[in-house]
A and B are shown apart, each in its own frame.
Chain A
Amino acid sequence: MAFSGVDFYQLDTLLSEEERAVRDTVRAWVDDQLMPLIADCYIEGRFPKELIPGLAELGVLGANLPEEYGCAGLNNVAYGLIMQELERGDSGIRSFASVQGALVMYPIHAFGSDQQKTHWLPRLAAGKEIGCFGLTEPDYGSNPGGMITTAKETRDGWALNGTKMWITNGSQASVAVIWAKTGALDDVSSIRGFIVPTSSKGYSAKDQKGKLSLRASDTSEIHLDNVQLPRDALLPKSGGIKSPLSCLTQARYGIAWGAIGAAMACYEEAVGYAKTRVMFAKPIGATQIQQVRLAEMLTEITKAQCLTLQLGRLKDAKTMTPQQVSLAKRNNVTIACDIAREARRLLGANGILVEYHSMRHLANLESVYTYEGTHDMHSLILGEEITGLSAY
């Protein structure tokens, strides 16, 4: 049955016709194309790359970037709704789209030269090139400024050395946006971005095995062994740790929306099950314990929808702050985790099966809780915002 969404506070009336149309088209695509595959992909630990051409044709990749680069030129609320709908299907697919759009296309658009933009953006929007984003390192996750990947200037360009880890799309990417220090290792201001074709000599990526979460998404480790790049591989307007962090703000914004999608999927599944599963001669939905569960879920989803829609309006008005994004990412992923867990429990033994969605979402959301700024780091970002004192 088609997904109908959750809208207890008639928030649809706050969306434009075009925003609703975008949401509905992606929703239908997820129903038609992703849902029939996702359980098998998850079990097989396989990213459904056969869906990339369809996603590109729909215009999902970098959908909020300008039309002149082959993108859809949507506003940020419509972009957020796309992320919501994709993650309603699976966090891995949303992660793919987030990385391609917010972490690869966005930095090329924000920090790239005209030549880089006109070369890369249309190809990435069309899904002809797949990108990945190399910031995190084995020993530098929450502290990316400590990175030890280096870019040394050579006679003809740059030489990159280092290791990146937890890189979504890493092993299937044809191009990587790699962040490296061009100066001393204690000089955070020397961090610059580079566009690195993954066919470059010295570049290698291997899948990280054994994941119990985001199984329908590729996560890789990247090694850069004296990778030689031309001078124009540098993103000229990138400079300092702020540059990659601004990309993360874009991606986290999408995650805040995406988490609502996962939560809605779990809620819808829980409601359907509660109404039809009969135990002690009545539907379990007629019991107080399940009604409390469902009431909590609906409340948290509705609160998250309100705050995230306003966040989107602020982003469109260009007044959104990274701290506001932290609050939304932190809140929405937490409530989505809680809702997925409670839905899984409401489903009883059936809840552990892949034919139901809640446990898959629950397992995925544990990664989403940790990536793109852990829950705890977002607490500290908010703590710093409140007190003016940094605790990290």
Chain B
Amino acid sequence: MKIAVCIKRVPDTEVRFAIGTDRKSIDPTGLKFDLSDFDGYAIEVALRLKEQQGGGEVVALSLGPDGTQEILRKALSMGIDRAVHLQADAIPFDALSIARALVPELEGQGFELILFGRNATDTGNACVGPMTAELLGMPCVTAVSHLELSEARGIAQRELEGVTETVSFPLPAVLTIDEGIARPRLPSLKGIMAAKKKPIDVRPAQLGEIRLSVQTLELPPERAGGRIVGEGPEAVPELVRLLRDEAKVL
């Protein structure tokens, strides 16, 4: 089985960030980058499918600046067979332009599954996967938390609010993968060494027209200090009133 995993380089969420002077982007100073969290699950799903089936090929694709190769190398060190880097100065906000750049790499290549993370941990759009599916004319199941494949079909489960939805789909298909499906493995030290010898094809990304752009980026307003409404049991009625009428959480 041939599987593609489309992954994204995002700022590491463990590092504190600041908004840049352009007020549209994150200040890159001191920022660390890593694979988007959900993409790690997508890689793990692809690797497990390959291991279960005892063969096939898993290809990782990523669009972005030069540093993107670092996350592709990480994917290779986890066990991905080869990688494609679609070079772009920056990752556009316009998901459709990214999907359009991915399509020529995915179309006619014999991929039976094309996996994405559920959403990128920076932009959180959750759009590129479904848009790519649409452009390729493939079925798409989003936020997959469990997956089983038979001959030419798959059964995917999605965890919704209080209910599990089970969806049947034909292959080839595009899936976006939710967390919890399979804990991503750590790259082993041998995997890191082996990754050096695996190929990364580099091509310029054909982004086409970019129609969306970020206008401003703002941090949420500072939270106001707390208020002490009283002490002991006699304060409870006032607290309840405020929670109900003012905070509207009751």
Residues of chain A touching chain B, judged by Cβ–Cβ distance below 8 Å, are 1-2, 4, 17-18, 21-22, 25, 28-29, 32, 57-60, 63, 67, 72-74, 78, 82
Contact = CB atoms under 8 A, between A and B. Distances in A.
A58 B193 CA distance: 12
Contacts of B190: 59, 67, 72-73
Given A4-B14, A67-B193, A72-B193, A59 B74 contact: no
B188 A74 contact: no
Nearest to B69: A17
B83 to A, nearest CB: 14
B77 A57 contact: no
Given A17-B70, A21-B74, A21-B77, A74 B15 contact: no
B170 interface: no
A4 B73 contact: no
A75 to B, nearest CB: 10
A73 B197 CA distance: 14
Contacts of A72: 188-190, 192-193
A28 B188 CA distance: 11
Contacts of B193: 18, 67, 72-74
Nearest to A21: B192
A275 to B, nearest CB: 12
Contact of B189 (A17, A28, A32, A60): A60
Interface string B174-205: 00000000000011111011001000000000
Interface of B: 14-15, 70, 73-74, 77, 186-190, 192-193, 196
Contact of B188 (A17, A25, A73): A25
Which 8 pairs of residues, A with B, have the shortest CB-CB distance? A59-B189, A72-B189, A21-B192, A25-B186, A59-B190, A72-B190, A59-B188, A25-B187
Nearest to B77: A21
A2 B32 CA distance: 14
B14 A74 contact: no
Contacts of B188: 25, 57-59, 72
A25 B189 contact: yes
A82 B74 CA distance: 17
8 contacts: A1-B14, A2-B14, A18-B193, A18-B196, A25-B189, A25-B192, A29-B186, A78-B189
A57 B187 CA distance: 10
B51 to A, nearest CB: 14
A102 B130 CA distance: 52
A18 B189 CA distance: 9
B76 to A, nearest CB: 10
A63 B70 contact: no
Given A25-B188, A59-B190, A72-B188, 4 more contacts: A18-B193, A59-B189, A72-B192, A73-B190
B14 A22 contact: no
A22 B190 CA distance: 10
A28 B70 contact: no
Nearest to B191: A59
Nearest to A18: B192
Contacts of A59: 188-190
Given A67-B193, A74-B193, A21 B187 contact: yes
A118 B192 CA distance: 23
A203 to B, nearest CB: 32
Most buried by A among B189, B190, B193: B189
Contacts of B74: 21
Contact of A58 (B70, B73, B189, B196): B189
Given A2-B14, A17-B70, A58 B186 contact: yes
Contacts of A57: 188
Contacts of B186: 25, 28-29, 32, 58
Contacts of B192: 18, 21-22, 25, 72
A17 to B, nearest CB: 6
Contacts of A2: 14
Nearest to A70: B190
Contacts of A25: 77, 186-189, 192
Most buried by A among B14, B15, B188, B192: B192
